[in-house]
A and B are shown apart, each in its own frame.
Chain A
């Protein structure tokens, strides 16, 4: 990875109709660090994640993706630098694990490196030769595949929204290792969670008041 990407956000506010979810939220996530976002249920952690990755516009405030080597990444190009795991972001249930990875790899313009995808599936604990459609996966296996999808293209910024949900203890250990490796590799990790163990992975924290 060359340099990495820093994510800065200032005075973010989000309102749905009349309901203010949060306001005045600021923070920065550096390459090689883990920014943990916490807050009670409904405080807007997931909303903040979708705003930071550019899917949803904030009602107020600014977000900037800054290259370590200088220069800002324009909004329309953010998606090329990020990967995300989030509860409300699903994979294709009719396709099997390999077909899902192949699809996301190809539309990202990376082509399809079968060996790499197989290795990645094995790494997240899935059988690359299994052709069951993802809809038939257990929730934990589905979660593992979502994580594989998020790191497939080795993004500089990794958003993890409750990444440990439905993972068994071994899966949680593996996730901890993954986050550590990503951080050491210079990835900017932004983690939304209320899990005590995951909160400890944070090097910086932003707490949403709720």
Chain B
């Protein structure tokens, strides 16, 4: 167990270092987040939406921004290993699950940074103040984890399929659509201050996260190796 953590940690630190020195993923994520956020707040703003529709529409908009920004950045980690021809030595040096865990940790960190900047900014610009803050935080955490675990797996598949961009969206759709629906429902419930609604969505998101984690652990080695 300690050994596994040390090895996965090495993959995580390596990716973090590389990212700090190139900022490829951060730039992609940041650019996308800033553009969509600016567009959304400029064209819609806090007051164009009727009071009654606000919790739902603002929740949906927030998650759409998070989703697409994460799509722009999270799919890079594996593709980059193939593009820079580092994948073969990584395959021969690290065990598949170590690679998976390290990459997942990196995507989680990236998403956490994105959310930490994006969510408060969105709240300010759009006047989005959820009644239940703990519920909102719970949905963000569970939704963020499930999003990261799903995109990590899909990114690994894409890197092997080599057809990149377009395929990424197609493959992610059946996996991400239910997640998107549940997190929007949960965020809306948090915005309206409905604990039952939050709990229900949280349970669904956590189940999805659990299923994706198990699926990844089982399938990743086969995707990673031929």
A residues near B (Cβ < 8 Å) are 50, 53-57, 79, 82, 84, 86, 88-95, 99, 102-104, 106-109, 111, 133, 149
Contact = CB atoms under 8 A, between A and B. Distances in A.
A66 to B, nearest CB: 19
Contacts of A149: 89
Interface string B54-76: 00000000000000000000000
Contacts of A108: 93-94
B24 to A, nearest CB: 10
Given A94-B22, A107-B11, A107-B98, A89 B17 contact: no
A41 to B, nearest CB: 19
Given A57-B226, A107-B7, A95 B18 contact: yes
Contacts of B88: 50, 55, 86, 88-89
B84 A109 contact: no
10 contacts: A56-B226, A89-B88, A91-B89, A92-B18, A94-B17, A107-B7, A107-B11, A109-B3, A109-B6, A133-B21
B223 to A, nearest CB: 14
Nearest to A86: B88
B86 interface: yes
Nearest to A83: B92
B226 A55 contact: yes
B7 A92 contact: no
A184 to B, nearest CB: 25
A89 to B, nearest CB: 4
Interface of B: 3, 6-7, 9-11, 14, 17-18, 21-22, 84-86, 88-94, 98, 225-226
A93 B93 CA distance: 17
B92 A91 contact: no
Contacts, number: 67
Nearest to A82: B92
A51 to B, nearest CB: 10
| Chain A interface helix/strand/loop/mixed | loop
Contacts of B89: 84, 89-91, 104, 149
A186 to B, nearest CB: 21
A55 B91 contact: yes
Contacts of B6: 106, 109, 111
Most chain A Cβ neighbours within 10 Å, of B21, B93, B226: B93
A109 B7 contact: yes
Nearest to B85: A90
Nearest to A99: B17
A111 B22 CA distance: 26
Nearest to B20: A94
Contacts of B86: 89-92
A94 B226 CA distance: 27
A93 B10 CA distance: 16
A-B residue pairs, 4 tightest by C-beta:
A106-B10, A107-B94, A90-B85, A89-B88
B17 A53 contact: no
Contacts of B14: 92, 95, 99, 103
Given A103-B10, A133-B21, A53 B94 contact: no
Contacts of B10: 102-103, 106-107
B186 to A, nearest CB: 37
